[in-house]
Amino acid sequence: MAYCSIVAARDAGCTGTDGEVTAWIEAAREGIERYTQQCFEPTDLVVVADVGAGGLVILPRRVRTVTAVQPVLEADDGASLPSSAYRVTSSDVLGQVDAVRLAWGGWNDLVAGAESYNGGWLGLWERWGAAQVKVTGSFGYDAVPLLVGQACALLAADLQAKAQPSDADAAGDASLKVDDEGNNVAIEDSDDDAPTTPVSPQASTGSTQADALLAGYLNRGPSLIGGV
């Protein structure tokens, strides 16, 4: 699902075939997600986050549902905790934050190591010695916010405009190969050893207009390790 329609992108200044406009919309979407560190539609993700004081785990995306919480251990991930071992909150509810709170004060006599006489969940966690958890679930907004859609259309047009060299640029740079519409069509060799580390947050989308529209959606939480 795109963050804006082809019509909206064209209205903002995008040109070309539907396929070409769609490609610029997708590029804009990627830029928006790198800038905001958010996803604006329901997205299945796996994230890792630190366990803070009192068992509070702040998550790096807006939470919709959580299906599994596992301790991150040196050898391998531990078994998924039952839903009674944690509580989920979401910023979708006014005044709440996106987090999982581990039930330090609880226990479950049916789970080996988490019995009431064995220290409960806190005792089990301390024996694990895990400083992080892996959380699997659905994250993001239920629907694309209006301002995000507008930012996507503007950014798609802006990216396309910046990617099209002027006649003077093309004449002055022999490495540029330009088609009849002024598009740079040069093909560069791919690097088989390209880095695979997660993309770090960027300071701007490259468009001051888009940045202004997205200012209320910035999230500088922990880094994502799976999904986006």
The tens digit of pLDDT for each residue in 154-179 reads 999 999 999 886 554 544 454 444 45
87 with 116, same domain? yes
Identify whether 148 is part of a domain: yes
85 with 49, same domain? yes
The predicted structure's pLDDT at residue 29: 95
98 with 152, same domain? no
Separation of alpha carbons 164 and 178, rounded Å: 9
| Total structural domains within the chain | 2
* Residue range of the domain that includes 75: 43-139
Identify whether 25 is part of a domain: yes
State which residues of the chain have pLDDT below 50. 168, 170-172, 174-178, 182-199, 222-228
The predicted structure's pLDDT at residue 227: 44
Positions of E strands within the chain = 43-50, 56-58, 63-71, 86-89, 99-102, 132-139
Separation of alpha carbons 215 and 41, rounded Å: 18
156 with 105, same domain? no
Identify whether 225 is part of a domain: no
60 with 109, same domain? yes
125 with 156, same domain? no
Identify whether 226 is part of a domain: no
Separation of alpha carbons 83 and 195, rounded Å: 37
52 with 105, same domain? yes
131 with 51, same domain? yes
69 with 132, same domain? yes
153 with 207, same domain? yes
CA dist list (Å): 201 to 131, 135, 166, 195, 210:
24, 21, 30, 16, 16
The predicted structure's pLDDT at residue 81: 79
Identify whether 127 is part of a domain: yes
CA neighbor of 125 nearest in space, from 174, 190, 69: 69
19 with 89, same domain? no
Identify whether 1 is part of a domain: no
132 with 165, same domain? no
Could you say which of 139, 158, 191 is where a domain stops? Answer: 139
Identify whether 170 is part of a domain: yes
Identify whether 72 is part of a domain: yes
